[in-house]
Amino acid sequence: MRKETSIHIDDKTALKVMREEGLLRRTGGRGKYRPSMSQVGKPSPNLLARNFKAEDPTTRLTTYVAEFKVVGTKPCLSRVADPYNDEVVAYSVPGHRA
Query: How is the chain split into domains, by residue range?
Result: 2-43+51-92
Q: Does the model's pTM come out above 0.85?
A: no
Q: How far apart are CA 53 and CA 50, in angstroms?
A: 9
Across all residues in the chain, what is the average pLDDT?
81
| Model confidence band, residue 28 (pLDDT cutoffs 50, 70, 90) | low
- Listed in sequence order, the residues at least 6 apart from 93 whose beta carbon sits closer than 8 Å to its beta carbon are 75, 76, 77, 78
